[in-house]
Amino acid sequence: MDNPLVSVIIPTKNSLKTIEECLISIKEQSYKNIEIIVVDNNSTDNTKEIARKFTDKVFNHGPERSAQVNYGVEQSIGIFVYKVDSDFILEAKVVEQCIEQVKNGFTAIVVHNTPDVRVSWIARIRKFEVDMYKYNITHSSARFVKKDVYKKIGGFNKKITAGEDYDFQNKLNRAGVRTGFIDAEALHLGEPTKFWLHMLKYFQYGKDFINYQQENKEESKKQIGFGRHIYLKNWKKFLKHPILGAEFIIYNFVKFGFGGVGYLIGKFKNYENRFF
């Protein structure tokens, strides 16, 4: 266990713009005992070709990212598995710090994913929010996990396409798995650049949220909601950055408005399917 193999699982779909930077950041980790597994979902660009420059373990599987990650874990031979989205760039010590936390008795580790503010003004607002969640287990999810623990809890729920990370952490919590945090981060390159397309995504998330809620009735009350305790805890941040804080509040209203409408439609369709 001094130098365990870590299997990094990367689900991809038409990830041409970011996959190479992602894979380079994995290759440049200070911890070297890593195998890279790419599970692609029928990309029509050169994602697979680029991935094969970095690993011979490139597979095709669908229908969505939860199923892809579960499949990747089945192909892995590492003691630990680490899910990395194809639009993430890892700081050099991410895996090394995860292994250090393992030695401290944790079998699941949260790696904070922070938005790349260079992408858009929306990313700056999202970073204002997302960075409040660092070291907060209610609004975080482990992606680095001991493989036998991953299998024990059943991996990612393939029925859930909105909130699958929250669902995964909730299953870890229910199983009594010790979850730790690290300081090193992953930078999210795939931040939204067009506001209305971003809101439409939340509309779709709202429609799909019904599946998450059915599996996580109690946890969903804290994890998915407009007024979160973590905002109050970070009140000094709002005072320090009043304009950004005001922009975030407006953004949050619109985001939850779109998500709420989507949720009501999803709820109605679920009702129709059950009784008609």
Q: Tell me: the pLDDT tens digits for 87-132? A: 999 999 999 999 999 999 999 999 999 999 999 999 999 999 999 9
Measuring CA to CA, which residue among 22, 64, 234 is closest to residue 161? 64
Give 266's pLDDT tier (boundaries 50, 70, 90). confident
Residue 226 has pLDDT above 60, yes or no: yes
Whole-angstrom Cα distance, residue 61 to residue 9?
Answer: 13
Domain boundaries, the chain: 6-275
Measuring CA to CA, which residue among 110, 89, 107, 85 is closest to residue 15? 85
In this prediction the pTM is: 0.92
Residue 270 has pLDDT above 80, yes or no: no
- Give the percent of the chain with pLDDT over 90: 84
Residue 276 has pLDDT above 60, yes or no: no
Whole-angstrom Cα distance, residue 222 to residue 203?
Answer: 20
pLDDT per position as a tens digit, 29-55: 999 999 999 999 999 999 999 999 999
What is the spatial order of strands in the sheet that 179-188 belongs to?
58-60, 34-40, 6-12, 80-83, 144-146, 108-115, 179-188, 88-90
Average pLDDT score, the chain: 93
Give 223's pLDDT tier (boundaries 50, 70, 90). confident
The CATH T-level fold of domain 6-275 is Spore Coat Polysaccharide Biosynthesis Protein SpsA; Chain A (3.90.550)
Give 274's pLDDT tier (boundaries 50, 70, 90). low
Q: What is the pLDDT of residue 65?
A: 92
Q: What is the pLDDT of residue 273?
A: 63
Give 224's pLDDT tier (boundaries 50, 70, 90). confident
pLDDT per position as a tens digit, 124-141: 999 999 999 999 999 999
Residue 251 has pLDDT above 60, yes or no: yes
Q: What is the pLDDT of residue 19?
A: 98
For residues 153-158, average pLDDT:
95
Q: Is-contact 47 67, C-beta < 8 A?
A: no
Query: DSSP code of 99?
Result: H
Name the region of 155 (left: φ>0; alpha: ψ -120 to 50; beta: rest): left
Whole-angstrom Cα distance, residue 266 to residue 211?
Answer: 9
Q: Which residue in the block uniquely carries the two structure tokens 């109050």?
A: 232
Q: What is the pLDDT of residue 93?
A: 98
Residue 171 has pLDDT above 70, yes or no: yes
Separation in Å, CA 87 to CA 83, 171, 175, 259, 272: 12, 25, 30, 24, 37
Give 14's pLDDT tier (boundaries 50, 70, 90). very high
For residues 184-208, average pLDDT:
94
